[in-house]
């Protein structure tokens, strides 16, 4: 059984050393399936060691969302190794430090990683584990190479090759030599600059760590910039240093440091870079290529004739380092020493390169931190101002934090909050649960919701209308914050507007009714006169019928004809009375299909007597097959009645022909147009719009309400009513009413071009 476990661990180790990390992971999972077969303190730590290294290597090529899970697994391996290292440091301290270094590398803690690689090498050396030392060196080399520190990477890779050679892993040595040809020959490592190609002393580890710590210990942007500049000036032994920050398009000077004796004077700034500050050609070269530029003696270079800065300031030693965070160029660090040539030693440059790469990461973090802090401060101000309700909720729907506005809104106290008695579910009105579920889905998908209307149930059971928006603080939308606005006042105001609109409509309807009654009163005499005719003829027909029946023998045919005429006359009278009743009865507005020509004929019947009284001719030119309009029949009758009566009244004082013509036609825009034209004097010098002003009248007994009521009735029907003067004289009042939507049926009537008289 033991052999089985050992075989699997050996397979894992071999796959990892061969660089086949996927196969190594498969081998690791095979071991994991049989953990009980591993010998504690021998096979088990080896398993955790190589499984961790394989997993760490794969972290470089997995999507960001899987990283967390991998890091958790790595931590488990690390913890297991730590247990072994605590009991037996001489055997496992190196292993543990290396896995720790890899975790720090993946988490972006560069200075921790550098320190742990070094610690791992030291432990491996002390324990005499050549293979662990070689492994650590190989990984440290990759770490430095990834940060653009070619020379240091090369030095570590050399160390790794030597270690594998001592261990007897010849295949691994061959593999490394193939991958890094400089291990076999003297050829220069790729990417090294001229100055770096000379053999250099590896930098003092303590110096590197000190520089790294200095530029990673600060998160406040301004303090960080100061720290970077002081460290850079000190490390480089420079006279002057500039920090240039770039957003990809513009490059701005963020700080300038100068030395005066032992002191470093620092000035923060925010100005666009220009040629008086530094050699722009060098800066742009560094920003373009992302490579460090070193000039041993700029004044001796041909550029001193072309670059105004170099010529004017007699610049000598110049070092310009890119500040790069991964692929993103954050800016550059420019250092100069004009007292001496070759003022920057390769060792110092190496330290500055490490420092610059960490500085770029720290600057990015500090910028993010500043942005987050600024938005947080804004949010805090909003929340503290207690203008808007705010709460923080958790995955179980508990409200953990809330401001006073929110608590007041829902009627809970802070003690309820502390006791965990304020819960999202209890607050949501039952009929709004579906909306709450929809919001939860939107949160999970997008991390936020659009503001939507809700109703909260207060602690006392009352309701409060709100508008609420959520933002998630975790990836699944199960925790987050809510912003809540109380809509009570707005809803009350809306209700008031609705009520007053309703009241307005009621008053309008009452007025319209009063106007109808008044008009009917005005017509009473002529209508009575009109009705007296059919009644009189009814009496005559009745007498005739009696006479036909009294004959010997009775003439039943004639009597029956007389009785028919009685029925016809009575029906006509009943019709007229029915219409009058409709006009004087108060009924709610209806929406029905109305045949407008029919309405015109009915009203013409009613006003016939009045027209005759004023000696006027009533003409109708009604278009054939008009579409039905939609509206209230009685109200439309009222409009026509008003317009015709006005027209008849306008004819009173004239000597010429008295004529009123009512015509209909279909217009573009799916409307029916009704025109009432008279041969009267027209609206006169006061103009037509005056006539629509309420209470404007030129008549001794007029009320001045007719036209304004007619206009509001037509407005309510979605139409338009207007008046013009006709040429050479007379008035024209017209209105449109929209036809009934989506109905193709039309009025079944023939063209009328008749004198109704
Ligand atoms: P009233 O008929 O009670 O005066 P209206 O609002 O119906 O109230 O009319 C207002 C005024 O408009 C009338 O007094 C009259 O001066 C003018 N007017 C209305 N219709 C006509 C018309 N056909 N010809 C001339 N003037 C008119």
Strands, E assignment, 627-704: 629-631, 659-667, 671-678
Neighbouring residues of 135: CB distance < 8 A, sequence distance ≥ 6: 53, 98, 160, 163
Residue 691 CA, closest ligand 1 atom number? 12
Smallest Cα–Cα separation from 194: which of 152, 237, 151? 151
3-class state of residue 234 by DSSP: helix
pLDDT at 190: 38
Q: Distance between CA atoms of 378 and 372, rounded to whole angstroms?
A: 10
For ligand 1, is residue 676 a contact (CB within 6 Å)? no
Cβ-contact 133, 123 below 8 angstroms: no
pLDDT in tens, 600-638: 998 998 888 889 888 999 999 999 999 999 998 888 998
3-state helix, strand, coil in the chain (%, to 5): 55, 20, 25
Q: How far is the CA of 628 from the centre of ligand 1 (A)?
A: 29
Q: How far is the CA of 525 from the centre of ligand 1 (A)?
A: 21
The secondary structure element, H or E, covering residue 754 is: strand 752-755
C-alpha distance from residue 224 to each of 152, 371, 718 (Å): 26, 15, 69
The alpha carbon of 479 is separated from its chain's Cα centroid by a whole number of angstroms, namely: 20
Domains 202-371 and 386-486 share a fold: yes
Ligand 1, atom 24, residue with closest C-alpha: 682
For ligand 1, is residue 697 a contact (CB within 6 Å)? yes
Pocket test for ligand 1, best of 646, 702, 731, 732 (most atoms within 8 A of CB): 646
Q: How far is the CA of 712 from the centre of ligand 1 (A)?
A: 16
Q: What crossing angle do the helices spanning 706-716 and 488-550 adopt, rounded to 10°? A: 110
3-class state of residue 427 by DSSP: helix
For ligand 1, is residue 698 a contact (CB within 6 Å)? yes
For ligand 1, is residue 730 a contact (CB within 6 Å)? no
For ligand 1, is residue 647 a contact (CB within 6 Å)? yes
Report DSSP letters for 71-112, one per residue.
HHHHHHHHHHHHHHHHH-HHHHHHHHHHHHHHHHHHTT-HHH
Ligand 1, atom 20, residue with closest C-alpha: 646
pLDDT at 237: 87
Q: What letter does residue 457 receive in the DSSP assignment?
A: E
For ligand 1, is residue 174 a contact (CB within 6 Å)? no
Residue 696 CA, closest ligand 1 atom number? 10
pLDDT at 737: 96
For ligand 1, is residue 678 a contact (CB within 6 Å)? yes
Cβ-contact 519, 702 below 8 angstroms: no
Q: 589-756 belongs to which CATH class?
A: alpha beta
For ligand 1, is residue 703 a contact (CB within 6 Å)? yes
Count CB atoms within 10 A of the CB of residue 31.
Answer: 25
pLDDT at 203: 57
Q: How far is the CA of 20 from the centre of ligand 1 (A)?
A: 100
Q: Distance between CA atoms of 237 and 352, rounded to whole angstroms?
A: 11
Strands, E assignment, 338-423: 389-393, 399-402
pLDDT at 187: 40
For ligand 1, is residue 148 a contact (CB within 6 Å)? no
Ligand 1, atom 19, residue with closest C-alpha: 646
For ligand 1, is residue 699 a contact (CB within 6 Å)? yes
Phi-psi domain of 411 (left: phi exceeds 0; alpha: psi -120 through 50; beta: other)? left
Fold of 2-189: 1.25.40
For ligand 1, is residue 25 a contact (CB within 6 Å)? no
Ligand 1, atom 1, residue with closest C-alpha: 704
Q: How many CA atoms lie within 13 A of 197 on its CB side?
A: 10
Q: How far is the CA of 576 from the centre of ligand 1 (A)?
A: 26
Report DSSP letters for 37-57, one per residue.
GSPTTTHHHHHHHHHHHHHHH
Report the percent of the chain where pLDDT is more than 70.
Answer: 93
Cβ-contact 143, 113 below 8 angstroms: yes
Smallest Cα–Cα separation from 467: which of 482, 486, 450, 480? 486
What does the mean pLDDT of the chain come to?
84
Ligand 1, atom 8, residue with closest C-alpha: 704
Residue 686 CA, closest ligand 1 atom number? 16
Question: Could you tell me the strand order of the sheet in which 731-738 lies?
Answer: 720-725, 731-738, 671-678, 659-667, 617-622, 752-755
* N- to C-terminal Cα separation, the chain: 122
Residue 646 CA, closest ligand 1 atom number? 20
Q: How far is the CA of 611 from the centre of ligand 1 (A)?
A: 17
Q: Distance between CA atoms of 173 and 162, rounded to whole angstroms?
A: 8
For ligand 1, is residue 680 a contact (CB within 6 Å)? yes
3-class state of residue 145 by DSSP: helix
pLDDT at 2: 41
Strands, E assignment, 212-327: 240-246, 251-260, 263-272, 293-295, 317-325
For ligand 1, is residue 691 a contact (CB within 6 Å)? yes
Question: What phi, psi does 705 have (nearest 5°)?
Answer: -110, -20
pLDDT at 452: 93
Ligand 1, atom 21, residue with closest C-alpha: 646
Fold of 202-371: Beta-Lactamase (3.30.450)
Residue 705 CA, closest ligand 1 atom number? 6
Q: Distance between CA atoms of 53 and 595, rounded to whole angstroms?
A: 90
In whole angstroms, how large is the CA radius of gyration of the chain? 49
Q: Any bridge partners for residue 626, and if so which?
A: none
pLDDT at 750: 43
For ligand 1, is residue 522 a contact (CB within 6 Å)? no
C-alpha distance from residue 474 to each of 394, 397, 435, 444, 697 (Å): 10, 14, 21, 9, 73
Cβ-contact 399, 423 below 8 angstroms: yes
Domain ranges of the chain: 2-189, 202-371, 386-486, 589-756
Ranges under pLDDT 50 in the chain: 1-3, 186-201, 749-757
Cβ-contact 321, 231 below 8 angstroms: no
CATH superfamily of 386-486: PAS domain (3.30.450.20)
Q: How far is the CA of 516 from the centre of ligand 1 (A)?
A: 15
Q: What crossing angle do the helices spanning 89-106 and 130-146 adopt, rounded to 10°? A: 10
Q: How far is the CA of 697 from the centre of ligand 1 (A)?
A: 6
Ligand 1, atom 23, residue with closest C-alpha: 647
Q: How far is the CA of 690 from the centre of ligand 1 (A)?
A: 9
Question: What phi, psi does 702 have (nearest 5°)?
Answer: -75, 155
Q: How far is the CA of 650 from the centre of ligand 1 (A)?
A: 8
3-class state of residue 573 by DSSP: helix
CA angle 157, 120, 83 (to 5 degrees): 145
Beta strand pairing status for 659-667 and 617-622? Answer: parallel
């Amino acid at each position: 059984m033991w052999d089985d476990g050992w075989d699997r661990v050996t397979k894992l180790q071999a796959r990892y050393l061969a660089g086949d990390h996927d196969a190594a992971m498969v081998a690791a999972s095979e071991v994991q399936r049989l953990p009980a077969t591993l010998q504690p303190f021998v096979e088990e730590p080896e398993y955790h060691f190589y499984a961790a290294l394989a997993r760490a290597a794969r972290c470089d090529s997995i999507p960001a969302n899987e990283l967390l899970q991998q890091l958790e697994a790595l931590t488990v391996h690390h913890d297991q190794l730590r247990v072994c290292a605590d009991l037996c440091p001489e055997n496992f301290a190196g292993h543990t430090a290396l896995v720790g270094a890899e975790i720090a590398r993946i988490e972006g803690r560069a200075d921790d990683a550098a320190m742990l690689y070094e610690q791992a090498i030291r432990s491996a050396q002390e324990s005499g584990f050549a293979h662990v030392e070689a492994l650590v060196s190989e990984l440290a080399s990759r770490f430095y190479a990834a940060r653009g520190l070619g020379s240091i990477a090369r030095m570590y890779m050399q160390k790794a090759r030597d270690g594998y050679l001592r261990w007897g892993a010849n295949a691994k040595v061959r593999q490394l030599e193939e991958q890094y040809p400089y291990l076999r020959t003297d050829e220069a490592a790729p990417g090294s600059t001229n100055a770096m190609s000379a053999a250099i002393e590896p930098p003092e580890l303590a110096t590197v760590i000190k520089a790294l710590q200095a530029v990673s210990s600060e998160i406040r942007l301004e303090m960080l910039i100061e720290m970077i500049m002081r460290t850079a000036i000190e490390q480089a032994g420079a006279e002057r240093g500039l920090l240039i920050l770039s957003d990809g398009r513009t490059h701005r000077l963020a700080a300038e440091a100068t030395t005066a004796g032992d002191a470093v004077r620092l000035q923060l700034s925010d100005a666009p870079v220009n040629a008086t500050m530094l050699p722009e050609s060098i800066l742009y070269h560094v920003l373009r290529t992302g490579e460090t530029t070193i000039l041993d003696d700029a004044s001796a270079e041909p550029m001193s004739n072309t670059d105004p800065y170099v010529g004017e300031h007699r610049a000598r030693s110049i070092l310009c380092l890119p500040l790069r965070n991964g692929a993103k160029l954050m800016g550059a660090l420019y250092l100069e020493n004009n007292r001496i040539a070759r003022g920057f030693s390769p060792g110092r440059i190496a330290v500055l390169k490490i420092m610059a790469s960490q500085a770029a990461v720290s600057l990015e973090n500090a910028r993010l931190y500043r942005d987050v802090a600024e938005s947080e401060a804004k949010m805090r101000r909003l929340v503290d101002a207690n203008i808007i309700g705010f709460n923080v909720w958790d995955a179980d729907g508990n409200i953990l934090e809330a401001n006073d506005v929110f608590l007041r809104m829902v009627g809970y106290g802070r003690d309820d909050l502390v006791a965990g008695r304020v819960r999202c579910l209890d607050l949501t009105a039952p009929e709004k649960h579906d909306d709450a579920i929809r919001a939860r889905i939107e949160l999970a998908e997008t991390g936020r919701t659009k503001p939507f209307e809700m109703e909260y149930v207060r602690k006392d059971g009352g309701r409060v209308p709100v508008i609420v928006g959520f933002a998630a603080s975790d990836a699944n939308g199960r925790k987050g914050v809510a912003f809540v606005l109380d809509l009570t006042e707005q809803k009350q105001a809306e209700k008031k507007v609705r009520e007053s609109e309703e009241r307005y409509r009621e008053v309008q309807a009452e007025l319209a009714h009063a106007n109808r009654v008044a008009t009917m009163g005005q017509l009473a005499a002529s209508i009575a006169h009109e009705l007296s005719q059919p009644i009189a003829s009814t009496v005559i027909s009745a007498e005739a019928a009696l006479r036909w029946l009294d004959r010997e023998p009775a003439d039943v045919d004639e009597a029956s004809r007389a009785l028919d005429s009685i029925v016809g006359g009575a029906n006509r009278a009943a019709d007229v009375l029915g219409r009058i009743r409709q006009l004087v009865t108060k009924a709610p507005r209806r929406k029905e299909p109305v045949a407008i020509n029919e309405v015109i004929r009915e009203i013409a019947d009613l006003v016939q007597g009045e027209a005759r009284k004023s000696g006027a001719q009533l003409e109708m030119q009604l278009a054939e097959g008009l579409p039905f309009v939609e509206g209230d029949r009685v109200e439309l009758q009222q409009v026509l009645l008003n317009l015709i009566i006005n027209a008849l009244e306008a004819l009173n004082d004239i000597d010429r022909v008295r004529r009123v013509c009512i015509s209909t036609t279909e217009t573009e825009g799916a409307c029916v147009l009704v025109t009432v034209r008279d041969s009267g004097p027209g609206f006169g010098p006061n103009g037509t719009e005056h006539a629509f002003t309420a209470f404007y009248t030129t008549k001794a007994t007029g009320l001045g309400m007719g036209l304004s009521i007619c206009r509001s009735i037509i407005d309510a029907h979605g139409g338009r009513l207007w008046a013009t003067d006709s040429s050479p004289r007379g008035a024209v009042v017209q209105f449109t009413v929209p036809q009934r939507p989506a109905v193709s049926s039309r009025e079944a009537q023939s063209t009328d071009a008749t004198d109704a008289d």
